[in-house]
Structure formats: structure tokens, C-alpha cells
Amino acid sequence: MRQWESLDAIEREPHKVSDAWVFRKTRVPVSALFENLRDGATVDDFLESFPPVQRSQVEAVLNYELDMLAIAA
């Protein structure tokens, strides 16, 4: 289970984007990042498509996921 509550870069509020995790102070779901990367986009492509999201927010999410993979190994 993800413990994304510890990340300052994202938030989840009831009734905001169907209660999905979003990048803080945006309506951009975190899942959009992973979907774009899965489909071959780069981080720069993603940031260009979603200008409210900051590079530091993307890096925080990706670094967190890398840390979780290292712990699970």
C-alpha cells in the first residue's frame, strides 16, 4: 500500500477530481503522470502538457516510488 500522505507534492481531498491523488494545488491526477510515462512520454512532455505541475512535484513522486521499490526488494 502506498503511503503518499507523507508527500508534500500531492494531495487528495474528498469531492476533488473523484477523490483521486492529484499534484498539490492542481487538478492533475498523479495517475496521469504514470499513464503518460507508460505511453512513451518523457517527464518534459508531461510537464508541457500539464503546466500547473512543477518538476519538483514529479521528481518527488518518482523518487518516492523508487524508494518503495528498493524497500520491497
DSSP code per residue over the chain: ---GGG-TTEE--TTSGGG--EETTS--BHHHHHHHHHTT--HHHHHHH-TTS-HHHHHHHHHHHHHHHHHH-
- Which has the minimum average pLDDT: 1-10, 36-45, 63-72? 1-10
Domain boundaries, the chain: 4-72
Q: Which CATH architecture has domain 4-72?
A: Orthogonal Bundle (1.10)
Residue-wise pLDDT for 18-43, tens only, equals 889 999 999 999 999 999 999 999 99
Q: Against a cut of 0.75, is the pTM above it?
A: yes
